[in-house]
Structure 1
Amino acid sequence: APALFTDVDGRYRGMDKNIHTVKGHNVYTIFSLWDTFRAVHPLFTLIAPDKNMEFINTMLLQYQQHGLLPVWELMANETGTMIGYHSVPVIWDAYQKGHRDFDVELAFEAMKKSAMQDHLGLADYRNLGFIPFEREGNAVSKTVEYAYDDWCIAEMAKSLGKMEDYETFIHRAQNYRNVFDTSVGFLRGRRADGSWRTPFDPIESSILGSGDFTEGNSWHYTFFAPHDVAGLIELLGGDELFSAKIDEMFAEEPIVTHEAAHDITGLIGQYAQGNEPSHHVAYLHNFAGRAWKTQEKVALIMDSLYTDKPDGISGNEDCGQLSAWYIFSATGFYPVAPGSGDYIIGSPLFEETTIHLDNGKTFTVKTEGRTRDAVYIQSAKFNGKPFHRSYISHKEIEAGGVLEFVMETEPNKEWGYAKEHRPKSYIPDEFRLAPLEERLVFIPFISKEKDLFHEPITFEIECLTPGVTIHYTTDGSEPTQQSAVYDGPITIGETTLVKAKAFRDGMQPSETLRREFIRAYYRHSNRVYPTIELEHGPAGRYTGRGKNALLDGTRGTIDFFDGEWLGFINDVVAKIDLGEPRHVESIRLSFMRNIGSWILLPESIEIAVSSDNINFTVIGTEQHTTTPADYDIGIKEYKFDAGQTFRYARVIARSTRALPEWHPGAGNRPWLFIDEIILEY
């Protein structure tokens, strides 16, 4: 992949579902860009740049038909699978290398538009400088991958003389720093209020759509700042500690903590060659002047995780990425940061490898003395002259020549050690931002676990930004500096919507905290009632904490694996018994929407109440049709007014029978995820 999508007469089905005819190039499909931006497309820039141009021109056609560049396109459908907007580095990498047979202005327009959306956490990423984990699944992975993509946009903008855009995106490219917790030395989930996810374990893995990381953990992602490795080295305490951290990754226990994280494979410690986020990590030693460690680790990966047998790769091939990693690494170098124009040197495997370039020239890599044990570079020559750098540029390769290495069993720790011989990857000093804590007033918070209560409660409003004044309201209005000043604990006895905003001179005010406390009947303090019975139980791994989780007073988060959500493959039919007739003002219930994970909102909801458990009166219904506009992950609360006394309540939520035709899983049965059923009084 990508695979040819045009017929012999140039016709193809576009992303607008119409039949088009293309002239001048072929159209392709299957753009697994989260995987292939790393090495597959950079490999094409060396061995088949004209083909890569066709890929880019296809992406631009898809942009014109669909409105956005592809993320993970399949047969003229945007699947929405995986994260980032990784068409961007493919385009910039080609442009930076002088491959420009496409509409450059259209390409930049498309790149910028992908980055300026409000979906998939981008609004928070843009406004706060990071994505809070309580608002978006895989928030840390998205933050750091968006940051790299934004660096590519910044560099493209600079090359086109668009300096205002350059400044915007070079600032955004530093957002990876905002989810790096220096107190633990890892990327870590962060709340909008500035606090860090607790408890935290860097080995704790998560899957696509659930948890802080995409098919990985903090070990896999902490080293992802390929555009600013110098900044990452600084965060980790300098060259020696940075290099030691990579060593620690390879020495960790090779375990996967999430039962559904099937993509985390090919483990050497916590390095995972079977999935993409780790692929560049072994090469990062070069940036710290420890090129011999890169040579050692790359050789280890090639030797232990690749064979010529049918199962000769350690994970999903992912449309060529695992093979492209091997082709580059066996040749002797790897594109750590596509778009930088540099390849980072590892441990070449073959006695002689020749790349036949599109310009008619050849580039040859030769080794002397390479064996399974002799993996270390002792010396190198390029076109007959001594070569001390641990990287080589694309321009040097395109000019043709011969790069020769002498290999031995003991490392030469001086080769590639000098500062001038290390690869460069940094944000210019004049565009460096101050730490986030010095620029952003964090949103206030209330340290109270449950939104539900049955007796009057007292709470405090706090803010992690020092020196702020907090203004708040309890009447639903937006807080301003004319609203009441928070000066101590607040007590409430009825359902109340609390809003609060923090202000500090010289800084932009915080976002508005919105927290509703609901007086309700729920299971607390060993109470027997209310009880709940389900006609059909939850399915598979999605049984959460059992049926009583629907009445425990704790509302589910954006993570459908948090234990509060129950997942159903059929309709939800629930009956609640309050124990005795009680007055209820409203009935609320929440459903998860995560279309990429096949979780849809209910097609219909019916709420009925009864005093005798026989004769039920319907008090509310709701209908919903799922459309592509629902693609963002979210939680939808449905509220039905009751205003009457009853003992029993019945909830019927009907699942959509099949995923819609525009969905990549069209025809399959979707999931229905429900959490708290709230009986407000």
Structure 2
Amino acid sequence: MKKILIILLGFIAHHLFSQNFSQYVNPFIGTGGHGHTFPGAVVPFGMVQLSPDTRIDGSWDGCSGYHYSDSVIYGFSHTHLNGTGVSDYGDIMLMPTMGKVGLTPKEYSSKFSHKNEKATAGFYSVKLDKHNVDVRLTTTKRVGYHEYKFNKAGTANIILDLNHRDKLLEGEVKIIDSKTIEIFRRSEAWATNQYIYARIEFSKPFKISKKEVNGSSENNLLKGTKLVLALTTAVKKGEKILVKVAISPTGYEGAAKNMLAEGSSNDFDLIKKQAEADWNKELSKIEVKSSDKDKLTVFYTAMYHVFTQPNINMDVDGKYRGRDNKFYMAKNFDYYTVFSLWDTFRGAHPLMTLIDRKRTADFVNTFIKQREQGGRIPVWELASNETECMIGYHGVSVIADAMAKGITGFDYEKAFEASKNSAMQDIFGLNAYKQKNYISIDDEHESVSKTLEYAYDDWCIAQMAKILGKKDDYEYFMKRSQNWKNLYNPNNGFMQARKNGNWYEPFDPSEVNNNYTEGNSWHYSYFVPQDIPGLIQAHGGKQKFEQFIDAIFSASDKTTGREQVDITGLIGQYAQGNEPSHHIAYLYNFVDKPQKTEEKIKYILDNFYKNSPDGLIGNEDCGQMSAWFILSSMGIYSVTPGKLEWETVTPYFDEIKLHLEDGTTRTITRNTQKSELKTLGFENVKTVKDLKYSEQTASPVIAADRIFDFTTQVKITPLNEKDKVYYMTLDENDKNVRKTFRVYKEPFMISKTTQVSAYAERNGEKSSVTSADFNKRPNYWNITINATANPQYTAGGKLAVIDGIKGDTNWRKGEWQGYQGQTFEAIIDFKSPQPINHISSTYLQDSRAWILMPKKVEYYASMDGKNFILLKTLENTIDPKDTNVQIQDFSTDIFPTEARFLKVKAYHFGNLPEWHQGAGGDSYIFVDEISVK
């Protein structure tokens, strides 16, 4: 019987894998619009992504190296990112040419036409018009295969340009023999210290005909930070040359081993068929039926995009480069890279827990090793580098989801320790978050988003603690998971930033600013996935929360504030093109209005996913945009990864078959009961009984004039009217006085620079202490500014530059005034003549963010405000190419002068120069404090 079963399972597997699911994959989906995908050859989770490069300018829509609107190809490189928002990769670029050798991109690039271009799963081909060369590309996990067909006889060249895309820190080419070269490339971009090695084997001998090297060039070894060369041979008409490129993150030996294991074949078509078979094996995990071929194409291309990364990042023998740049051997797991976790924790990783549990365990094992070797689990890790891109520590979501769903193959205790470690750091606002249970603008930029996302991650850690029976950790992190309550404004129902103890005003929920990550308050006011019943209760019940969900879809689709290119696919303020919105339509299920979920999900599936180059409504983001489609079309979505249930909707397809790793099949139809869908894939997983934890009391808000002339009124308000408030004040006379908190009864007046601290209490539970500083003006000057500050960078108004409060290097916290494309000019009226012997004004530089020091600063004096005398000119001495964020005082002693008026004139840098990524754009001047003695 056992033998029959094995044969039967084998027959089923063969039947599935022999079905050509890959015929429905269209790699061009997302290569237009803002999808940022690439069309080249890749196998599932492969190290190699062999694709054409049509962009070398680092532009946003060129992040993958290719955009469908382009008509020029520069070459074919072996690493690419799928749908991200920042340019990187594009390593080891080769380009075939004919005739005279040219080593500049303009010389070796070629026009091409989409009519002569083809892409399928694991394969890409194109005709290079300029050189009359037909290119075909395919790949294994670690070896890229190129086939160049030269359609006329003559001199053929293959250009190798190591300076392609990112900055080359170290380059090396070793000529092994006439048919073999080895390459080392260390580069800097988003990943600031990326290592890649390659072994290239040609099917016929070549000679170096031309080279450009700025370093050494001896004994068949070329070294430098500028390294371009041409390999040349004679070809007959119609002759084909096969080029194989094995890559490795560890060294030449690793590249050689990878070549030996995966590059031994000289049969291009055989490798192409194997790549197709690899794709069919993965794509067969979900079998959908539809009479609409476009829908099938969108679905299976979505699967293709999800399986494009994370990428295997170890050699065939298991050797990998750790986060500490040391070498290790992976034992009993595969080591991966490219973890876009802010995006993928929401849908892509929950999908993987359903159809790829083994690989999910490998991801978690990778996280554990990165914690051991690099200090923390990944946030946005790329090529053994932590980019620190985006926010949160969402690796804990992936771990909690895996543990909740009973996935084994990793050490639960080590995974918990690694997760807890991330939550106990003092970086990115976490110190303030731990101390006062929320992050304010004063503490850290993107304070609202960070508070909310940290709170969800803390809930995930609590779920791990519950599974492991760690009662104290469970209680601690469950309490932290309620920190969202401190930013929920009961007066308007929105998640609102707090500054200096109070709500930040003016408030516009449509405004995109530095208090939110790639979004605004509309997008983040629904992000409490760990406590949706609590959020509903805060709004006043299901009916009111339903109205609040209705409101995001019916609001104007115009955003205010900063331009944010990621906010696309708008239905009202709901933005399907960016991740913070992805769960919102499913929240109708929580207010007993599933028909509204049905309506919204179907509209998105119908309208925002198309079988065309611009068929994605926003960045693919390493599979998240596609994972949303896959899950939603199956009738499920994980609103709360880490929770043992799916939110449900009517399936989009007539029939869906899930072929799971345990050999079982689940069939879904439009008639499948929602109760069955809720537990799909983990019907038999045991749940753990909840432990007790205490409710958090939210911190009160403290309102008064931050800067006041003589007196100001202080008002303290609890966020829950049932709370009792206690407060304490400290002014400059109280430094050595022991003070205690007292009951707050009514608003009170202060007349000195004072710190006010307060907390709320309900049923014996105290909130964290909120403190606010209110400053009596250090002067009573008037100021006129003859320039217009960017609305995002006003620091609260013109008095901000003479209020005595200095901004720090984190300018996103809002303490600096920013002026774009303008010379800053301020005239201070002291009200009466006064002696001047020292003048200072302070500026900030963050050249990556377009903020540069002024070219020079001039100081003038006047008695009448009309006729000014130049007192001093100070030239800037800081290099605009210096990317360190830094503050510079332009201060000077002057010959004692009496004046009523002082003019400060800071000349802006001008347009950004060619070397800058934003070349041609207007630079900013950021100014804060002007002081006079």
Q: What TM-score bracket applies, with the shorter chain setting the length?
A: 0.7 to 0.9
Structure 1 partner of 2:503: 196
Q: For residue 62 of structure 1, what is the aligned residue in structure 2?
A: 370
Alpha-carbon distance, 1:157 to partner: 0.7
> Residue 431 of structure 2 aligns with which residue?
123
Distance 1:323 1:678 in 2: 51
Shift of 1:302: 0.3
Whether 1:299 and 2:602 are equivalent positions in the alignment is: yes
Match of 1:473 among 720, 728, 731: 731
1-side partners of 2:646 and 2:376: how far apart? 30
Measure the CA separation in 1 of the matches of 2:366 and 2:681: 24
Find the aligned partners of 1:52 and 1:349 in 2 and give their Cα distance: 26
Are the structure 2 counterparts of residues 315 and 555 from structure 1 closer, same or farther at C-alpha, using a change threshold of 3 Å? farther
Using the alignment, how far apart are the partners of 1:470 and 1:218 within structure 2? 32
1:28 aligns with 2:336: yes
> 1:521 and 1:604, CA in 2 relative to 1: closer, same or farther beyond 3 A?
farther
Q: Could you tell me which of 356, 360, 383 is aligned with 1:52? A: 360
The yes-or-no answer on 1:206 pairing with 2:465 is: no
Residue of structure 1 equivalent to 2:522: 219
**How far 1:434 moved relative to its partner?**
5.1
Please state how far the C-alpha of 1:576 moved relative to its aligned partner.
7.9
More strand by share: 2
Aligned to 2:678: 391
Q: Matched residue of 1:154: which SS?
A: helix
Deviates more, 1:358-367 or 1:541-550: 541-550
Give the drift of 1:106. 2.1
**Rounded Cα–Cα distance in structure 2 between residues aligned with 1:578 and 1:47:** 70
Could you say which residue in structure 1 is the equivalent of 2:81?
none
Equivalent residues of 1:138, 1:213 under 8 A apart: yes
Equivalent positions of 1:425-444 (< 5 A) are 430-433=692-695, 435-436=697-698, 440=699
**Over aligned residue pairs, what C-alpha RMSD do you find?**
4.9
Is this contact kept in 1: 2:842–2:887, CA < 8 A? yes
Name the CA distance, whole Å, in 1 between partners of 2:829 and 2:419: 55
Letter in 1 for 2:517: T
Q: Which residue of 2 aligns with 1:375?
A: none
Q: Which has the larger radius of gyration?
A: 2
The aligned counterpart of 1:254 is: 557
Q: Secondary structure at the match of 2:669?
A: strand
- Is the CA contact (8 Å cut-off) linking 1:472 and 1:484 kept in structure 2? no
Secondary structure of the 2:658 match is strand
Counterpart CA distance in 1 for 2:740 and 2:575 is 54
Alignment of 1:147-546 (within 5 A): 147-193=455-501, 195-202=502-509, 204-207=510-513, 210=514, 212-367=515-670, 380-381=672-673, 388=675, 391-396=678-683, 430-433=692-695, 435-436=697-698, 440=699, 446-448=704-706, 450=707, 457-464=710-717, 468=726, 470-474=728-732, 477=735, 480-481=738-739, 489=749, 491=751, 498-501=754-757, 510=769, 512-517=771-776, 519-520=778-779, 523-524=782-783
Give the structure 2 partner of residue 645 of structure 1: 896
* Farther off after superposition, 603-612 or 387-396: 603-612
Amino acid at match of 1:519: P
C-alpha distance in structure 1 between counterparts of 2:767 and 2:388, whole Å: 34
Quickly say closer, same or farther: Cα 1:483–1:43, change in 2 above 3 A: closer
The Cα of 1:160 is off from its aligned counterpart by: 0.9
Distance 1:602 1:298, change over 3 A: same
Structure 1: 5+ residue stretches without partners: 368-378, 382-386, 400-423, 659-664
What secondary structure sits across from 1:677 in the alignment? strand
Write the distance in 1 (CA, Å) between the matches of 2:525 and 2:676.
Answer: 26
Q: Distance in 1 between matches of 2:846 and 2:412?
A: 35
| 1:14 and 2:322 aligned | yes
Q: Structure 2: how far apart are the matches of 1:118 and 1:280?
A: 29
- Amino acid paired to 1:169: F
- Alignment CA distance shift 1:303-1:519 (3 Å): same
Residues 254 and 8 of structure 1: is their aligned pair in 2 closer, same or farther, counting only changes over 3 Å? same
Residue matched to 2:36: none
Deviation at 1:445, TM superposition (A): 5.5
Q: TM-score, normalised by structure 1?
A: 0.73
Instruction: Give the Cα separation in 2 of the matches to 1:146 and 1:156.
Output: 15
DSSP-derived class of the 2:622 partner: helix
* 1:287-330 alpha-carbon deviations (Å, 9 max, x no partner): 22222222222111101111111111111111110100101111
1:139 aligns with 2:442: no
The one-letter code of the counterpart of 1:566 is G
> Secondary structure of the equivalent of 1:124?
helix
Matches of 1:111 and 1:604, distance apart in 2: 47
Task: Give 1:36 shift.
Answer: 0.2
Measured after TM superposition, the shift of residue 138 of structure 1 is 2.1
Larger deviation, residues 12-21 vs 389-398: 389-398
Q: Which residue of the partner structure matches residue 410 of structure 1? A: none
Q: 1:617 to 1:187 in 2, by over 3 A?
A: closer
SS state at 1:99 partner: coil
- Alpha-carbon distance in 2 for matches of 1:24, 1:654: 58
Which amino acid is the alignment partner of residue 458 of structure 1?
A: T
Alpha-carbon distance in structure 2 between the residues aligned to 1:615 and 1:523: 20
Q: Indicate yes or no: 2:914 matched with 1:679.
A: no
* CA apart distance, 1:668: 13
Does the 8 Å CA contact 1:522/1:678 hold for their aligned counterparts? no
Cα deviation per residue 1:347-394 (whole Å; 9 max; x = unaligned)? Answer: 211122112211111122123xxxxxxxxxxx545xxxxx65672244
- 1:198 partner amino acid: E
Give the Cα–Cα distance (whole angstroms) in 2 for the partners of residues 643 and 517 of structure 1: 28
Q: Which of the numbers 413, 416, 426 marks the counterpart of 1:108?
A: 416
Q: 2 CA distance for matches of 1:260 and 1:27? A: 38
Whole-Å separation in 2 of the counterparts to 1:70 and 1:669 = 33
Q: Is 1:583 the equivalent of 2:841?
A: no
